[in-house]
Amino acid sequence: MSPILTLGEALRAQARLQPERIGARDLDRAMSFALWNARACRLANALTGLGLARGDRVAVLAHNRIEWVEIYAAAAKAGLVAVPVNFRLVGPEIRYILEDSGAAALIAEDVLLGAVEAIGADLPVPRDRLVLLGGARVPAGWRGYEDLLAAAAETEPAVPVAPGDPWCLMYTSGTTGNPKGAIRGHRGMAMLALMTEVEFGLRRRDGALLVMPMCHANSLNFFSAFLYAGAPVNILSRASFDPELCLRTLAETGASFTSLVPTHYQMMLDSTAARARAGALDRVEKLLISSAPARIETKRAVMAMFPRSGLFELYGSTEAGWVTMLHPEEQFDHAGSVGREVVGSAPVRLLDEAGEEVPDGMPGELYSCGPYAFDGYWNLPGKTAEAFRSDYLTVGDVAVREAGGYIRLLDRKKNMIITGGENVYPTEVETVLATHPGVRDVAVIGLPDARWGERVHAVVVPRDGAGLTEDALLDWCRGRMAGHKRPRGMSLVAPDDIPRNATGKVLHRVLRERLVQQG
């Protein structure tokens, strides 16, 4: 047994301590801890039976469904590395992740086969390791998920898994046009689960409703914490968010916790039926708002809608884990901040460009240090080195420290756009748009949006004589980038209308402010 329980070992322990208790469910089926552990063992043995060995990567492309928790647990038991792929991505984006990670197997949901087929015949995964989730018929060249499990043993895999081994490779949007794979190891994830239990006061009688995609760090972290606590995890298995369904599921499952982005809460606030149901949910004790900046007006309305529940706000990242927390009793006194350091982490450092700490009230790049930081970027030692100063890690966010040590964010990851809780980097979108033969220059920014927080907007300089139109270019984007990355609006401008600094870099903030003022 390793000094720190891996998630696979934690599941085995829960199956022994409370075998008949429901451990996980989605909208279609439920599993006891014993059944969950047995199926995870079967999957782990099935994957090793296909020739996968410790350290090999297994890519997963699926909407929210109960199999996610089986796959994560199976990877932990077999010493494999799960590579969650965002189901919103399209063929070229999926191809990049499969190639960059060197995926040795792919588990894909039947309704997403079109995205896989769009990659083409030269799929960068061994053909005998394509596994299909769901579907009445398994197409040629694929293996059925349930068929694999049925043919495998339930015995615990005899694979040595060390705390320092990688468990997940999570791809984050990249500032250079390509996403980077963040390596999350067993030790860091176990420590993050422990700190989550402490911060939220989780107990065995609690339960989580996971709404955020299971391919995101948010749901991965909370599913892990609730499993370690021996509490059930409930997965809202729908591709699109339905506020009334979310609240009905909270009531039916008796979950005491859920984590949502501001857009989700706003959709609840806009629904009369949802507001009426929310006030009667006396089992819900803890709500989290995260993944995007939350306006104080939204938080006040949420607290009024859920009078029996405490509202937490969290700041963190895939790389750093949890960094700061604003607790329910602090919401009104420290509006606009994201709280103070999470238990177990060192004090946040705010540094200027010379690496010197800035005084309170002055902006600086935020560096955090905790026992659950990621282990580096996959195959990018230079980017890993850039992210760290000694043991302190940055993802490029700028913040100030206010009275009492409370942290207020000024700009998230430089010019990153957060739309509906999804991160979009302008460079990614600009790189695609620049390949259009009629585009001479382009800059992408986020504009305020009442529903999504921000919407992606492209400012394009057409080539002379190209006859480019906004509608044609917006339509051209379809199939070339994920829906949340595609521009929702576009401005065709002259070359001098894109502001730049002395070195020629686009001043995204200046451009954004200009368009906001223009309305």
Q: For residue 176, is pLDDT > 70?
A: no
Band the pLDDT of 186: cuts 50, 70, 90: very high
Average pLDDT over residues 244-272: 91
- Terminal-residue alpha carbon distance, the chain: 61
Q: 10 Å Cβ neighbour count for 182?
A: 25
Q: Encoding tokens for residue 333?
A: 């006194």
Residue written as tokens 């190639």? 99
Share of the chain above pLDDT 90, in %: 71
Beta strands of 11-161 (E only): which ranges?
A: 22-25, 30-32, 57-61, 81-85, 105-109, 130-133, 143-144
- CA pair distance 84, 61, nearest whole angstrom: 7
Cβ pair 108, 97 in contact under 8 A: no
Q: For residue 49, is pLDDT > 90?
A: yes
- CA pair distance 51, 374, nearest whole angstrom: 28
Cβ pair 396, 351 in contact under 8 A: no
Residue 106, beta-bridge partner list: 59, 130
- CA pair distance 332, 314, nearest whole angstrom: 15
Domain boundary assignment for the chain: 1-12+29-187+213-219, 420-518
Question: Class of the 1-12+29-187+213-219 domain?
Answer: alpha beta
How far is residue 323 CA from its own chain's centroid?
15
What pLDDT is recorded for position 469?
93
* Amino acid at position 126, single letter: P
- CA pair distance 113, 122, nearest whole angstrom: 15
Q: Encoding tokens for residue 167?
A: 């468990």
Cβ pair 252, 207 in contact under 8 A: no
Render pLDDT for 76-110 as a digit per residue (tens, 0 to 9): 999 999 999 999 899 999 999 999 999 999 999 99
Q: 10 Å Cβ neighbour count for 136?
A: 5
What pLDDT is recorded for position 411?
64
Cβ pair 394, 371 in contact under 8 A: no
Share of the chain above pLDDT 70, in %: 97
User: Mean pLDDT across the chain, nearest whole number?
Assistant: 91
- CA pair distance 79, 75, nearest whole angstrom: 6
Question: Class of the 420-518 domain?
Answer: alpha beta
Of the candidates 65, 191, 36, 39, the residue with the CA atom closest to the CA atom of residue 135: 65
Residue-level length of the chain: 519
Cβ pair 14, 31 in contact under 8 A: no
Backbone dihedral angles phi then psi of residue 134, each to the nearest 5 degrees: 75, 180
Render pLDDT for 467-488 as a digit per residue (tens, 0 to 9): 899 999 999 999 899 999 999 9
| Distance (Å) of CA 33 to CA 25, 404, 440, 476, 500 | 11, 43, 57, 48, 57
